[in-house]
Amino acid sequence: MRAGRLDRRISIEQSTPSTDAMGEPVDGWAELAAVWAEVRFQTGREVMAGGGEQAEADVMFFIRYRSDVTTDMRIAYAGDTYDIIRPPREIGRQAGLEILARAPVA
């Protein structure tokens, strides 16, 4: 893993359930960590959802190794959020992580 390629700042977020003023459960997100990453956009595609055609893109993020990243988390990058869609893959002997994420279809 080459440090010079980790040139984008991303935020790894985890779900933090809470309640609103009326006591109703509300899903929220809190930053677990802000890390440097290499970002590679994968092949985009168009899908049919809600009666219309919408774009969807997979993105591969490469970061330094962390043991606490799971598929229950998401990544915030450049104003967009990406759901982690498979368990992160270890690169080398805990040198880094390869994280495949997808922008949710709105």
- Asked whether 35 and 69 are in contact (CB, 8 A), the reply is no
Q: Does the CA dihedral 95-88-98-16 come out positive or negative?
A: negative
How do residues 48-90 score in pLDDT, each as one tens digit?
555 555 567 899 999 999 999 999 999 999 999 999 999 999 9
**Longest Cα separation, the chain:** 49
Q: In the 8-state DSSP scheme, what is residue 65?
A: -
14-38 pLDDT, tens digit per residue, is 999 888 888 888 889 999 999 999 9
pLDDT value, residue 25: 86
- All domains in the chain, ordered by first residue: 3-102 (2.40.10.270)
Mean pLDDT of 88-105: 93
What pLDDT, on a 0 to 100 scale, did the predictor assign at position 42?
85
pTM: 0.81
